[in-house]
Amino acid sequence: MTIATAPGKIILFGEHAVVYGRPAIAAPVSQLRATAVIENSKTRDVQLIAPQIQRRRSLHNAPDSDPFAMTVRLFVEAAQIPFVTNLNITIQSDIPIAGGMGSGAAITAAMFRGLAHHYNKLDILEPARLSELTYEVEKIHHGTPSGIDNTVVSYEQPLFFVKASPQNQIEPFTVGKPLKFLIGITGIRSQTKLVVSDVRRQWEADKKRFDLIFDGCGQIATAARQLIQLGDALQLGQLMNQNQELLEEMTVSSKELNSLTQAATQAGALGAKLSGAGRGGNMIALVTDESETAVHQALLQAGATAVYATTLS
Ligand code: MEV
């Protein structure tokens, strides 16, 4: 039996604009993880077992549009083995599904890690390789992803990311002083694929306006990286608020996200913004030791279905 995991993620700055080549910053959320358990079985096929949703099914005849079947097929190709049989793959996740925290990418990366260990194909564990494979499956989930989610869950460290051809710019950076974020979950499912394609529709209808919004997000992400390195939480909070305004202009915020971000800032957060695709999912608030409890309470009172704390260090 082999057990492997991968973390959830938050986007600190630059979501959506990152799809259009602007810089963004993401961080792993290490305490919320997806787990894949790989076991040999007596039945000939490969069974996917998901106890949380009471599902069990065979992957052998599943189409390529099935992310789990595709993960196994991509593994077989990457590992240069003829096929895999007699396997049970059990998946479990603490990461809220459709919560904007990269649950899909984490499950895929955990499966690749588990299969790589099980078949002793350890080169697949190398972060760049793992990220590249996970990206192929992200395309099934999300259509035209930037690649930031698969990158951050595979590298498991805070990253400055720019989508670029032929190679993405992936830069880990230092954190001047630990920064604490609260993650507020709206409880409303965020369909990344739909939100990303709606932003594309709006960009196509008014490229000039949307390019300016994306430029603004990119400039904020670049400035934010400096402030994180310097440990300047006060100014970083301001940048989060500015990024939130631009996301509202993109129409990806929502009533629920607005009330959580407002509740957080009113309760003393240094800054707050939605994180990920938006229109549901999650938001993040930058807090100090003094404001953390009040912001946590305020988020719950404003309707957050769960609040998690994570420290960038
Ligand atoms: C989703 O976590 C982030 C988005 O920018 C989509 C992407 O980058 O692929 C909304």
Atom of ligand 1 nearest to the CA of 144: 9
* Ligand 1 geometric centre to CA of 261 (Å): 19
Q: Hey, which of 12, 16, 199 would you mutate to test ligand 1's pocket, going by the most ligand atoms within 8 Å of its Cβ?
A: 16
Contacts of 235 by beta carbon, 8 Å cutoff, 6+ apart: 227
Atom of ligand 1 nearest to the CA of 278: 10
- Domain-wise residue ranges, the chain: 2-172, 179-312
* Ligand 1 geometric centre to CA of 148 (Å): 7
Q: CB within 6 Å of ligand 1 — which residues?
A: 11, 15-16, 18-19, 142, 145-146, 148-149, 192, 196, 276-277
Q: What is the pLDDT of residue 142?
A: 86
Q: What is the pLDDT of residue 144?
A: 86
Q: What is the pLDDT of residue 260?
A: 98
* Ligand 1 geometric centre to CA of 275 (Å): 9
Q: What is the pLDDT of residue 140?
A: 92
Tell me how far apart the alpha carbons of residues 148 and 159 are, in angstroms, rounded to a whole number.
9
**Which CATH number is correct for 2-172, 3.30.230.10, 1.10.1060.10, 3.30.230.30, 3.30.390.50?**
3.30.230.10
Q: What is the pLDDT of residue 76?
A: 97
Residue closest via CA to ligand 1's atom 2 equals 276
Q: Which pairing describes strands 169-172 and 24-40: parallel, antiparallel, or unpaired? A: unpaired
Atom of ligand 1 nearest to the CA of 275: 2
| 262 sits in which H/E element | helix 255-266
Tell me how far apart the alpha carbons of residues 230 and 226 are, in angstroms, rounded to a whole number.
6
The angle, 0 to 180 degrees and rounded to 10, between the axes of the packed helices 255-266 and 292-301 is 150
Atom of ligand 1 nearest to the CA of 142: 9
Q: Measured between alpha carbons, how far is residue 272 from residues 39, 113, 149, 276, 296 in Å?
A: 43, 34, 20, 13, 12
CA dihedral 208, 281, 103, 35 (to 10 degrees): 160
Same fold, 2-172 and 179-312: no
Residue closest via CA to ligand 1's atom 8 equals 146
Q: Which residues of 108-127 are buried (b: 16+ CB within 10 A; e: fewer)?
A: bbbbbbbbbbbbebeebeee
* DSSP symbols for 143-210: SS--SHHHHHHHH-S-EEEE--SSS-EEEE---SS-EEEEEEE-SS---HHHHHHHHHHHHHH-HHHH
Residue closest via CA to ligand 1's atom 9 equals 145
* Ligand 1 geometric centre to CA of 105 (Å): 11
Q: Hey, which of 9, 11, 20, 134 would you mutate to test ligand 1's pocket, going by the most ligand atoms within 8 Å of its Cβ?
A: 11
Q: Hey, which of 146, 163, 243 would you mutate to test ligand 1's pocket, going by the most ligand atoms within 8 Å of its Cβ?
A: 146
Alpha carbons within 13 angstroms on the beta-carbon side of residue 239 total: 23
The CATH code of the domain at 179-312 is 3.30.70.890
Give just the sign of the alpha carbon dihedral 127, 132, 135, 137: negative
Residue closest via CA to ligand 1's atom 1 equals 276
Q: Which amino acid, 74?
A: L
Q: What is the pLDDT of residue 227?
A: 98
Q: What is the pLDDT of residue 141?
A: 86
Mean pLDDT by 10 residues, the chain (313 residues): 98 98 97 97 95 91 94 97 95 91 96 98 97 96 92 97 97 96 96 94 98 98 97 98 98 98 98 97 98 98 97 95
Contacts of 86 by beta carbon, 8 Å cutoff, 6+ apart: 40, 41, 42, 43, 44, 45
Q: Which amino acid, 216?
A: G
Report DSSP state, residue 96.
Answer: P
* Ligand 1 geometric centre to CA of 282 (Å): 13
Q: Are 71 and 64 in contact (CB under 8 A)?
A: no
**pTM of the entire predicted model:** 0.96
Q: Hey, which of 9, 10, 19, 273 would you mutate to test ligand 1's pocket, going by the most ligand atoms within 8 Å of its Cβ?
A: 19
